[in-house]
Every structure is written in C-alpha cells, then in structure tokens.
Amino acid sequence: MADSTTLARPLALHWQQPGPRLFAAIKGSLFLVCLLPLAQLAWHILSGAAVNPIEDLTHGSGTWTLRFLLITLCVSPLRALGAPGWLLRLRRMLGLYAFFYACLHLLTYLWLDQFFDWAAIVRDIVKRPFITVGMLAFVLLLPLAITSTDGWIRRLKRNWGKLHRLVYVIAPLGVLHYLWLVKRDLQSPLIYAAILAALLLWRVWRYLRPTLAARVK
C-alpha cells in the first residue's frame, strides 16, 4: 500500500505539471494528430479511391470543423471533471484547428464548387439559409482566430474572454448549417446537436449553480 502511493504520487505530479520539454512534446504531438484528418482526406482523394473527391473534401472539412469546435468546448468540462490544468494551454491550438478546417471548407466551396463566381456566391448566401448560417459562423470565427495571439490576449484583457464566448454562438450555427443542408437523414447532425446541447447545458448549469444554491438556502 505504502509502496503504491509513493510510486503513484510522483507520477501523478508529473502528469499534472509537465516540464517545458515534455509539454512541448505533448503540444507537438497534438499538432500532428490534428493534421491526421487532413492527411486521411488527402490520401483518400489522391489515391483515387474517391468517386466524388470534391464532395468528400467539402464534407470532410466541414465535419472536422464541427468536431474541433466540439472538442474545444470539451476542455472546460474536462477540467471540472479533474483533468489537469495544462489542458487549457492546448485549447488555443484546438480552436485554431477548427478555424483551419473551416477555412478549407469555405475555400472548397468558393473555389471548387462556385469557381469564385461572386454573383452566384452572394445569391447563395442570401437565398439559402444553410449557407447564410454557415457563412455567418465563419465570419464570427474570424475575430476569434485573429485575437488568439498572446499579444491580443494582453491587449484585450477581460474583454478577451467575453469576445471568445462567441464560440457559444458559432458552434450552434455550425450545427444548424449541417442540420439544414442534409437531404433527409437527420441522424448524424442530430448527434452533433445532442453533444453540443450537453456541452452548453453544462455551462448554463455551472453559471446558475451559485444562484440556485443561494435560493435553496
């Protein structure tokens, strides 16, 4: 018993406080892991396995944008469940990957779907609700990506946190975009909607908890 605690404790400490070199290694690995979906997409398309490669690129980049948004939103709940604090220091990269896949998604649409026919693109944005909300989500994502640097965090001080709460709007718009474009089978977008709802409801609960507790007293 005594042995196991003495053995486990330094390990646990180690887990909680990785040294700068270990943290850099973790961060580097995560960076590469986040590129795997892109690599998989590229391989799928370049190997010639895709019958409709542009559709696969559109769907793949869109799906991974949503996934990275949801993964980013998982960090706080995981922290509350006892995950180590340094997880927070990786969140910026996860958010920027959501932006990266969103850029790929948008570029695929602008280029390979519309071939930069701006008149058609504007018509699409105005006329088709799923494109309107998708575009809105991307536009809202822009300031978050721009202000993700240390410099902007310092400059914006408390407002930085407020600004980055925009993700609570962006993620639902993203899911709505998916929900509205599906032809008939809503199963997949509804799974994303359910996960997002759980992540947002947890935040509502956390926000209201002190008030609720006070009222009970």
Task: Report in angstroms how near the CB of residue 103 gets to another protein at its nearest.
Answer: 10
Gyration radius of the chain's alpha carbons? 21
**Pattern 160-189, binding to another protein, x per CB under 8 A?**
--------------------xx-xxx-x--
Task: Report in angstroms how near the CB of residue 95 gets to another protein at its nearest.
Answer: 20
Task: Tell me which residue has tokens 């370049």.
Answer: 46
With 0-12 / 13-18 / 19 or more C-beta atoms within 10 angstroms meaning exposed / middle / buried, residue 83 is middle
Alpha-helix runs per DSSP H in the chain: 2-16, 20-46, 53-80, 88-107, 118-127, 129-146, 150-156, 158-164, 167-181, 187-216
Q: Which is nearer to another protein, 169 or 186 (CB)?
A: 186
> Does 194 engage in binding with another protein (CB under 8 A)?
no
> Does 6 engage in binding with another protein (CB under 8 A)?
no
Q: Which is nearer to another protein, 42 or 208 (CB)?
A: 42
**Pattern 8-47, binding to another protein, x per CB under 8 A?**
----------------------------------x--xx-
**In angstroms, rounded to a whole number, what is the distance separating the alpha carbons of residues 196 and 71?**
10
What the block records as the tokens of 211 is 């008030």
**Contact at 8 Å (CB) between 93 and 30?**
yes
Task: Report in angstroms how near the CB of residue 176 gets to another protein at its nearest.
Answer: 13
Q: Which is nearer to another protein, 74 or 138 (CB)?
A: 138
Binders of another protein among 89-148, rule CB under 8 A?
A: 107, 111-113, 115, 120, 124, 128-130
Q: Which is nearer to another protein, 62 or 73 (CB)?
A: 62
Task: Report in angstroms how near the CB of residue 129 gets to another protein at its nearest.
Answer: 8
**In angstroms, rounded to a whole number, what is the distance separating the alpha carbons of residues 56 and 170?**
23
- Which residues, 6+ apart, have CB-to-CB distance to 164 below 8 Å? 144, 147
**In angstroms, rounded to a whole number, what is the distance separating the alpha carbons of residues 173 and 74?**
17
Catalog residues that contact another protein under the rule CB under 8 A: 42, 45-46, 48, 51-55, 107, 111-113, 115, 120, 124, 128-130, 180-181, 183-185, 187
